[in-house]
Amino acid sequence: MKTRIKELRARYNLTQEDLAKKVGVRRETILFIEKGNYNPSLQLAHDIAKALQTTIDELFIFEDE
Amino acid sequence: MKDKKVVVLSIIIVAAVLTTLFFYLKSAGDIELNEILLVGIVLVLVALAMYIVWDRLKNVQKGLPAKDERLININYKAGYYAFIAAIWSAVFTPVLFDILFRYEPKGGDVAAIVVMVSGFVFVISYLYLARKGN
């Protein structure tokens, strides 16, 4: 699963740490989500989307296997 | 605030365990195999606890949570692997001792090995999963 978190972070001038503080997780969690190494829960995905003023659909790019 | 309390409490527990271990080793005369294994278990657990405390402290100081959903998932996974390792080591320890040393280990020795193996598996799985991401 790919994400647009990095792109949106850059748009709002947020570091991984800033975003982590906003959604209440550790910085490494944001890093692993960005790299596609961790699939967040629906709640966390919603929180990240809200923090980046977008929707889950736009934030995460689901690819057919 | 709760995270800070947990970190402080963890540091106190680690210090208490190390002090107890120091006095135990100082007063113990000849140490048997199962005692060496027990000391090994304690050291493994203390090392892991120290790493976790350091990691949490680092995050709390930055105003980030000490643990989040990813870390909780990692704990569950590492615990599952440790449980499987405990079952297999309980089965194979007496067999391996018999094949390698022609010696039937006591119940205490087997218990110590099972706890140590599962402890090691937990530590290794935890560290691996923490670096891998999930």
ipTM of the complex: 0.85
Asked whether the beta carbons of residue A17 and residue B70 sit closer than 8 angstroms, the reply is: no
Asked if A3 is an interface residue toward chain B (Cβ–Cβ < 8 A), one would say no
A35 to chain B: which residues are within 8 Å by CB?
133
- State how many domains chain A has: 1
Comparing CB atoms, the residue among A21, A35, A44 nearest residue B133 is: A35
Could you tell me the CATH number of the domain that includes residue A9? Answer: 1.10.260.40
At B52-96, the pLDDT tens digits run 888 888 888 888 888 889 999 999 999 999 999 999 999 998 888
The residue segments making up the domain with residue A37 are 2-61
d(CA B36, CA B28): 11
Mean pLDDT on B107-133: 86
Q: Give the per-residue pLDDT at B1.
A: 65
B68 to chain A: which residues are within 8 Å by CB?
24-26, 29
Asked if A20 is an interface residue toward chain B (Cβ–Cβ < 8 A), one would say yes
Where does B28-106 have alpha helices with state H? 33-61, 69-101
Q: Give the per-residue pLDDT at A65.
A: 59
Q: What's the whole-model pTM score?
A: 0.76
A46 to chain B: which residues are within 8 Å by CB?
none
Q: Give the per-residue pLDDT at B65.
A: 87
Please tell me the distance in Å from B133's CA to the nearest CA on chain A.
Answer: 5
Q: Give the per-residue pLDDT at A54.
A: 92
At A5-23, the pLDDT tens digits run 999 999 999 999 999 999 9
- Cβ-based neighbours of B3, under 8 Å, separated by 6 or more: B56, B60, B65, B66
